[in-house]
Amino acid sequence: MRSLGCTMLKHLLMLTILIMTCSIEVLAQKREVDVSTRLQLALIDYEPVHAVLVDRCTQSFPESVPALQKAITDWQNKNREPLHEIRLIFRDKLASGQASMSKVDAQMASISKMMNNGLKEQFAKVPLTELEKACRGGFATTLQSPELDFEALLNKIRPAQPK
């Protein structure tokens, strides 16, 4: 599990850089993120991370907050249920090789906490010039990226339903 956590941390840093720069050019040029990375991104509890960004935008660029909050709310409404289902699928896959569900739950909680803390710290450290880009539409654009479309990811990984 240690290597899984390290892999997630690497992907967390990649996502953080992408989110923080919020550059449309970067979004357009980057390669598609693989399914395993997107599964790892599904372990993030986005609400507290978004709250840090909204708080920083409120302090520095208050006029940007209504549009930012709408983009976040729209994204949450679209992705809340798919994220829940993805986490359950991920949990079941991990549990298939584990002794107990409680160990799996503890591992998932630990990984999620590590990733959330890392993202919140990064959001808190973003330079003002990058923060302005994020507050004024860059983050809203990032939320629309395929990597953060968990509904589409769920459709890729959902077990086939018997007919």
User: For 15, phi and psi rounded to 5 degrees?
Assistant: -65, -40
H helix intervals, 22-163: 24-29, 35-41, 46-60, 65-95, 101-125, 128-133, 139-143, 150-157
What's the pLDDT at 139?
93
Q: Cα separation of 142 and 48, whole Å?
A: 17
| Domain boundaries, given as residue ranges, for the chain | 2-18+34-155
**Is 50 exceeded by the pLDDT of residue 21?**
no
Q: Cα separation of 104 and 116, whole Å?
A: 18
Across 93-116, average pLDDT: 79
The pair of three-digit structure tokens given for residue 163, joined into one six-digit string: 């007919």
pLDDT in tens, 30-81: 556 678 888 888 888 899 889 999 999 999 999 999 999 999 999 999 999 9
What's the pLDDT at 68?
97
**Is 50 exceeded by the pLDDT of residue 25?**
no
Q: Cα separation of 13 and 79, whole Å?
A: 22
Residue 126's pLDDT band (boundaries 50, 70, 90)?
confident
For the chain, the helix, strand and coil percentages under 3-state DSSP, each to the nearest 5: 80, 0, 20
pTM, 2 dp: 0.77
Residue 117's pLDDT band (boundaries 50, 70, 90)?
confident
What's the pLDDT at 31?
56
